[in-house]
Amino acid sequence: MKAEGDIYVVHRLLDEQICDSEGRRVGRVDDVELSGDPPRVTALLVGDGLYPRRLPRRLARLARRISGPERWGANALRIPWEEVDELTSTVKLRKKAEDLGLGMGDDPAHWIVRRLPWN
Amino acid sequence: MRAILKIALGIIAAIGGFLDIGDLVFTTQAGALFRYDLLWAVVLGVVGIAVYAEMSGRVAAVSGRPVFDVIRMRMGFGMGLLALVASTIVNLLTLAAELGGIAIVLELLFDAPYGMFVFASAIALVVIAALLPFGGIERFFGYGGLLLFVVVATVFHQNPDWGDVGRGFIPSIDSSTLYLYFVVGVFAAALMPYEVHFYSSGAIEEGWTEKNLKENRLNAIVGYGIGGILSVGLVIVSGYLFHPIGVQPDDLGTVALPMQGAFGETGLLLALGGMLFCVGGAAIDSSFAASYNLAQFLGWEWGRYQGPRKAPRFTASWLVFLLLGIAIAESGINPVDITEYSVVLAVVALPLTYLPVLLIAGDRSFMDRYANGRIATTLGWIYFAVIVVLALAAIPLLLATNAGGG
Amino acid sequence: MELKGPRALSELLGRKVVDQSGRKLGRVREAKAHWEDGAVVIDELILDRGGLRRRLRGPGGPEEEAIPWEAVVELPGEQVVVHR
């Protein structure tokens, strides 16, 4: 992705809507992964398992009791930064939702599959 | 001429029901208690919703962001969640009040039990929402709502003292808490946030761009202007009929009495019919607003045009909200009371959803050259101040006047 | 300071920032970064000294202070210690 200049990460990246390559809405940037020195954005994090972290400390404990712990792959997903195509009024990804494990909540087939006894 | 007609029809379709049960209840009571003295508060509220709607529509068209996208993005997760929770509670109460309102009107028209009508009207709404295309829904309730112009006809039939009416448009602050409660109530009933949230989501569904900005402004001014005319009319006809005899209208049937007085059975039927369409439209708008807000905040796929298969969570949440609305409406609480609470709580929560839109509408990095100009900025911040004052005063006044009961 | 392992932005936001003598400088509200070959690289942490006005105005106002990342010394517990 070609872009230049400065970017305020909280103002323009955090909490943005994410869309896949076909324009399907697949969640919001619930958190951002940073690593390296100086730190760079290495992944976007999506999922309701990440909500407790976004709340002030006291509420966070209560929230975690309600939503349960983070389960990576289930209620917390990691989108590597390389999968981001462009940043306009949404974060647009290079691939389709299924290829990244996203959008499961809106996949009716997934609702059924999840409830099968052997899953 | 045809162009004007087309624009007019488009505006009507865009705004849907002009009034909802909150407007019907508060304008009629305000007229009965204070005659024409609260007309200025109605106008203040109507201009307020035009300002809020114009900004929200412009933000949606230029940046592609509906209200709750703006809220989450600008205020962050914590404050946004607070706004979502408050907004959802208000929308649920509003939905219940509107469902109750539909049932009451049907009860008056067809003389059958209320409880049955709540359920029946909810089913009717689901059918309408499922069958009619998005624009069709708004047209259906919008044109039907025009029946309420019998109120305007009643005003001219009554021929009130126009000097007195005129004086009502000049703001005056009475020190009685009941008067102040109705200032808040009448204003808040005109500025119900679900209308604007629905409108902004509708703009995205319709694929609005910068080309739609003129249309947006027309919708805001003329569309809500029509609602304003009807609200003003209701205050006047109610004030003319009820104030001299000291009647306090406490049920929806009373709202239609002035029209019956002027035009007999026809007047009554037109009034009740118009009320039915307006309140029905409001039920659709408030139920969808609740789902739009939830889905937008969480990042789900959303949209009436997407259909249940592409946006299952959005659709499911809409049905859940409808069920909750039915439950509240059937709970035995008088819909007029539910209305009072929904209107008061709406203004208390209003600063949370108004401010982020005002900030983004004025932010050039999002709005480019369509950001708020000097007029919009001034009006926008004046209204924010007004809204904050009323939001702080609302609950104390509600308690002090026992919800307008005195 | 090198981050040991990946960190989440939410872990930095809201942290109290103090200098090496313990004096409070503000709280982390924002991170300013720049684009570098398609990557977003953090330059500065933006603090506010508390207050509603910064929240209202958005980034770039006078109530803010920017701390370059190189000045960050350590991240103990719920704080950010910086060299000033």
B329: burial class by Cβ within 10 Å (0-12, 13-18, 19+)? buried
Q: Is the dihedral of CA A77, A78, A81, A85 positive or negative?
A: negative
Which chain A residue has the Cα nearest residue B360? A11
Mean per-residue pLDDT, B317-323: 94
Rounded distance between C-alpha atoms, residue B295 and residue A27, angstroms: 9
B371: distance to nearest CA of chain C, Å? Answer: 15
- pLDDT band for position A110 (50/70/90)? low
What's residue B49's pLDDT? 94
Contact pairs from chain A to chain C, CB under 8 Å: 99
Asked if B135 is an interface residue toward chain A (Cβ–Cβ < 8 A), one would say: no
Residue B295: how many other CB atoms lie within 10 Å = 24
Rounded distance between C-alpha atoms, residue C35 and residue A87, angstroms: 12
DSSP structure string for A12-49: HTTT-EEE-TT--EEEE--EEEEETTTTEEEEEEESGG
Residue-wise pLDDT tens digits, A45-65: 999 889 998 988 778 888 888
What's the one-letter identity of residue B148?
L
- pLDDT band for position C50 (50/70/90)? low
ipTM of the complex: 0.90
Q: What is the mean pLDDT of chain C?
A: 82
Mean per-residue pLDDT, B102-118: 84
What's residue C52's pLDDT? 59
Rounded distance between C-alpha atoms, residue A11 and residue A17, angstroms: 13
Which chain C residue has the Cα nearest residue B357? C56
Q: What DSSP character marks residue B221?
A: I
Residue A55: how many other CB atoms lie within 10 Å = 17
Give the highest mean pLDDT range of B63-77, C12-26, C54-68: B63-77
Q: Is the pLDDT of residue B266 over 90?
A: yes
Mean pLDDT check: name the lowest of B86-100, B241-255, B373-387: B241-255
What's residue C48's pLDDT? 79
- pLDDT band for position C51 (50/70/90)? low
Pairing state between β C64-68 and C39-48? antiparallel
For chain A, positions 65-84, list CB contacts with chain B under 8 A.
Answer: none
C7: distance to nearest CA of chain B, Å? Answer: 19
- Asked if A81's CB is within 8 angstroms of C39's CB, the reply is yes
- pLDDT band for position A111 (50/70/90)? low
Question: Residue with structure tokens 């003319």?
Answer: B240
What's residue A67's pLDDT? 75
- Asked if B300's CB is within 8 angstroms of A27's CB, the reply is yes
- pLDDT band for position B153 (50/70/90)? very high
Residue C65: how many other CB atoms lie within 10 Å = 14
Asked if C68 is an interface residue toward chain A (Cβ–Cβ < 8 A), one would say: no
- C-alpha distances out from residue B212 to B7, B53, B58, B136, B356, Å: 12, 14, 8, 19, 22
What's residue B289's pLDDT? 95
C38 torsion bin: left (phi>0), alpha (psi -120 to 50), beta (else): left
Asked if B359 is an interface residue toward chain C (Cβ–Cβ < 8 A), one would say: yes
Q: Quote the percentage of chain A above a pLDDT of 70.
A: 88
- B3 by DSSP, 3-state: which? helix
Q: What DSSP character marks residue B147?
A: G
First vs last Cα of chain B: how many Å apart?
Answer: 51
CB-nearest to A37 from C3, C13, C30 is C3
The structure tokens listed for B181 are 């409660």
Whether cis (ω within 30° of 0) applies to the bond prior to A38 is: yes
Residues of chain A contacting C, Cβ within 8 Å: 1-11, 13-14, 31-43, 45, 50, 53-54, 56, 81
- Asked if C3's CB is within 8 angstroms of A36's CB, the reply is yes
Residue B9: how many other CB atoms lie within 10 Å = 13
Mean per-residue pLDDT, B254-270: 94
Task: For residue C66, list its beta bridge partners.
Answer: C46
- Asked if A54's CB is within 8 angstroms of B301's CB, the reply is no
Rounded distance between C-alpha atoms, residue B102 and residue B120, angstroms: 10
Residue-wise pLDDT tens digits, B159-192: 999 999 999 999 988 779 999 999 999 999 999 9
The structure tokens listed for B171 are 């703001």
CA angle A66, A71, A72 (to 5 degrees): 145
Mean per-residue pLDDT, B111-138: 80
Q: Which of A31, A48, A106, A111 to mutate to test the interface with B (most CBs of B within 10 A)?
A: A106
What's residue A70's pLDDT? 81
B56 or C3, which is more confident: B56
Q: Is the pLDDT of residue B83 over 70?
A: yes
Q: String of b and e for B263-289 (b: at least 16 CB within 10 Å)?
A: beeebbbbbbbbbbbbbbbbbbbbbbb
Please check whether residue B256 is in contact with residue B272, taking contact to mean a CB–CB distance below 8 angstroms. Answer: yes
- B101 by DSSP, 3-state: which? helix
